[in-house]
Structure 1
Amino acid sequence: MASRVVRERVRGEVRQGILDEAERLIREEGLPGLTMRKLASRLGYAPMSLYSYFADKQALLRELGRQGFEVIARRLEGAVERGGVDGVRELLVEFVRYAHEDPVHYRALFLGDRPVTDRPECPDAVNPAFALLSEHVAECVARGALSGDVLATSTVLWTAVHGAATVVVTFEHCPFGSWETYAETMVDTALAGVRARPLTGG
């Protein structure tokens, strides 16, 4: 029993080491620069040995995505100091701040050629950051501070903040002078929209 526990621990450490090196490679060369052969070479492994831990490159990317989403969710949760709509606003602005501070990570997770999840139709199933936003939106809807269907309203806000984040990481000069002013303007506009009229899912 003890030897099996040790083997599983060692396997987990090796697997995480592969993921850590893959993230470093992506940061250095971008998502297109990640290949299983190049990753194996950097680690000093035979190329086929990586497939003992990940079925293929997409499986590795999905796990990187899962871990990346958890990091973002923890960051967003830590940024929320107030309740209600003010808390939703803090969360959304912090998301753009994350993209501004770590554009390589944002591009890899959200702007790649293929999604890092195999469940693109259900973002909250794999993205705890979206789930966190939905929780705050649900609280606001229950209190009457925001209107409409929780999933629809959350999706509208998520879409708006992604648009703002993509502009921030793509263009050197943001509208309104600074990225923060631009982000706050976009978030305030989106929140005004979901306050003004109900949204329905489906």
Structure 2
Amino acid sequence: MAGPPPAASAPTRGRRDRRGEQRRAELLEAAIHLIGAHGLDAVTHRAVAAEAGVPAASTSYYFRSKDELIDEALGALAEREIALLRARRDALGELAADLDMTVEALAAWIEDQLTESGRVAMLAQYQLQLEAARRPEARDILAAWKDGTDDLAETAMRALGAEDVRTAGILLVCAIDGLRLRLMASGHEPLTPEQLRATLRALLSGLIRA
């Protein structure tokens, strides 16, 4: 799988030394947190600087506009998530051939995203992906993200012996996305750990036979 592409707008503002790169990363992390906690409308140069705990002028020094800041935040988040997906794929390895181990790995991954910090990061992912879908210049970033997700799902389904690996992988990704949104959304009672694992076992078992 090809590595993640660069952010849609190549950064040209601000210091390019180590200190400058660190400050840029801090501002992007602050933007991601704001998006996850309060939505895209909360992102302003001043709000991002305040979240990062730096002078108000810092954000405009590194980013020309809100759109550039959002594009780079999407690129940074995508790069991080693709690296995590690869690590999970490699860690799963031969264990993916064991249904119980795959169920446990998926359940632990979902539960990690339902913690307070995990929820903010996941909401930021969804909001940035929806925003990028409206922005043609961000399509390469979304494509790399999708490839990373599909690769992990297909690795699991191939190891479990699914007959149609590609279709099973797509269905697994869609089902996990829907399950995560259900668990986050208000109005739905959370699944117990046992119920979550039973749901995942039924899902994987059905996809193997699909």
Q: TM-score, structure 1 length as denominator?
A: 0.69
Equivalent-residue separation in structure 2 for 1:111 and 1:83 (angstroms): 30
Cα deviation for residue 188 of structure 1 reads 1.8
Q: Give the aligned length.
A: 184
Equivalent-residue separation in structure 1 for 2:32 and 2:154 (angstroms): 28
Question: Percent identical across equivalent pairs?
Answer: 16
Cα deviation for residue 129 of structure 1 reads 4.5
Name the structure 2 match of 1:152: 167
- AA partner of residue 104 (structure 2): E
Equivalent-residue separation in structure 2 for 1:174 and 1:99 (angstroms): 17
Q: TM-score, structure 2 length as denominator?
A: 0.67
Contact 1:130 1:158 in 2 (8 A): yes
- AA partner of residue 138 (structure 1): R
Name the structure 2 match of 1:181: 194
Which 4+ stretches in 1 moved above 6 angstroms? none
What pairs with 1:82-161 in structure 2 (closer than 5 Å)? 82-86=95-99, 87-101=101-115, 102-111=118-127, 114-115=130-131, 118-119=138-139, 125-126=144-145, 128-140=148-160, 145-148=161-164, 150-161=165-176
Contact 1:99 1:168 in 2 (8 A): no
Equivalent-residue separation in structure 2 for 1:111 and 1:164 (angstroms): 17
What pairs with 1:6-155 in structure 2 (closer than 5 Å)? 7-26=16-35, 28-40=37-49, 42=51, 43-46=54-57, 47-51=59-63, 56-70=68-82, 72-73=84-85, 76=88, 80=92, 82-86=95-99, 87-101=101-115, 102-111=118-127, 114-115=130-131, 118-119=138-139, 125-126=144-145, 128-140=148-160, 145-148=161-164, 150-155=165-170
Uncovered stretches (5+) of structure 1, i.e. residues with no partner? 1-5, 198-202
- AA partner of residue 151 (structure 2): A
Cα deviation for residue 196 of structure 1 reads 2.0
Q: Secondary structure at the match of 1:83?
A: helix
Name the structure 2 match of 1:190: 203
Equivalent-residue separation in structure 1 for 2:167 and 2:38 (angstroms): 36
Equivalent-residue separation in structure 2 for 1:107 and 1:156 (angstroms): 21
Q: Secondary structure at the match of 2:162?
A: coil
Name the structure 2 match of 1:3: none
Deviations 1:13-46 (A, max 9, x none): 1221212222343455344322234224553142
Cα deviation for residue 55 of structure 1 reads 6.3
Which structure is higher in RCO with an 8 Å CA cutoff and minimum separation 6?
2
Uncovered stretches (5+) of structure 2, i.e. residues with no partner? 1-14
